[in-house]
């Protein structure tokens, strides 16, 4: 069959999840910062073992070089209509630096209901410790796992990556043959 195959599972356990080689793999949505060093290495080695020679691995995360370097404490607010009311849902994403390799991430969902009391409610919030992976760190680990970086971008439209200004880091890595 043609088209993508979606596999649900732990990124650190790719060898047990993928049973035949693929031409490409994609990891989007800032998933990698949930992995510590050992889990990242296991993931990258798993991808290398599950991709055909010269297969592509596309990774997308936030640009933590910019976030840590500029001490950025929040991401832009996102809004959508609240299906349960005439209000809106707002997604607030706060960050607190935690050393030079981690951030404490505080994703919070707010319900905004003008004309109601209270007009603003916290629907959900939590704290997640993320590993703030940078391009040099990921490049070293990709190289050790058998990949070469083919391209880097600052967004999903192939805009240029700039460590001091891009909001995202997108890496296209190629699995080296042999």
> Which residues neighbour 135 within 8 Å (Cβ) at sequence distance 6 or greater?
65, 152, 161, 163, 169, 171
pLDDT interval class at 86 (50, 70, 90): confident
Pairing outcome for strands 22-27 and 51-62: parallel
Is residue 131 a contact partner of residue 101, using CB atoms and an 8 Å limit?
yes
Reported as type and span, the H/E element at residue 64 is helix 64-69
Of all residues in the chain, what percent carry a pLDDT higher than 90? 80
pLDDT interval class at 8 (50, 70, 90): confident
**pLDDT of 14:** 87
- Please give the mean pLDDT across all residues of the chain: 93
Instruction: Give the residue-averaged pLDDT of 74-85.
Output: 92
Return the biggest CA–CA distance within the chain.
Answer: 65
Reported as type and span, the H/E element at residue 59 is strand 51-62
Reported as type and span, the H/E element at residue 38 is helix 37-50
Per-residue model confidence as pLDDT tens digits over 19-76: 888 899 999 999 999 999 999 999 999 999 999 999 999 999 999 999 999 999 999 9
Q: How many Å apart are CA 63 and CA 16, to the nearest integer? A: 30
**pLDDT of 1:** 57
**pLDDT of 9:** 87
Of all residues in the chain, what percent carry a pLDDT higher than 70? 99
Instruction: Give the residue-averaged pLDDT of 119-137.
Output: 96
Q: Which of 86, 75, 77, 72 is nearest to 110 (CA)?
A: 77
Higher pLDDT, 148 or 2: 148
Q: How many Å apart are CA 133 and CA 68, to the nearest integer? A: 10
């Amino acid at each position: 069959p043609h088209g993508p195959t979606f596999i649900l599972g732990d990124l650190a356990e790719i060898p047990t999840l993928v049973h035949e080689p693929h031409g490409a793999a994609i990891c989007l949505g800032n998933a990698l910062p949930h992995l510590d060093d050992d889990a990242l290495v296991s993931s990258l080695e798993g991808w290398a073992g599950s991709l055909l020679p010269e297969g592509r691995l596309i990774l997308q995360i936030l640009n933590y070089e910019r976030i840590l370097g500029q001490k950025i404490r929040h991401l832009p607010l996102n809004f959508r209509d609240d299906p349960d009311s005439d209000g809106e849902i707002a997604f607030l994403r706060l960050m607190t630096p935690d050393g030079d390799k981690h951030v404490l991430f505080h994703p919070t969902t707010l319900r905004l209901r003008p004309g109601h009391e209270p007009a603003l409610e916290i629907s959900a919030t939590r704290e997640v410790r993320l590993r703030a992976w940078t391009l040099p760190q990921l490049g070293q680990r990709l190289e050790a796992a058998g990949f070469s970086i083919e391209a880097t971008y600052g967004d999903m439209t192939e805009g240029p990556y700039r460590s001091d200004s891009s909001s995202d880091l997108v890496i296209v890595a190629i699995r080296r043959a042999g």
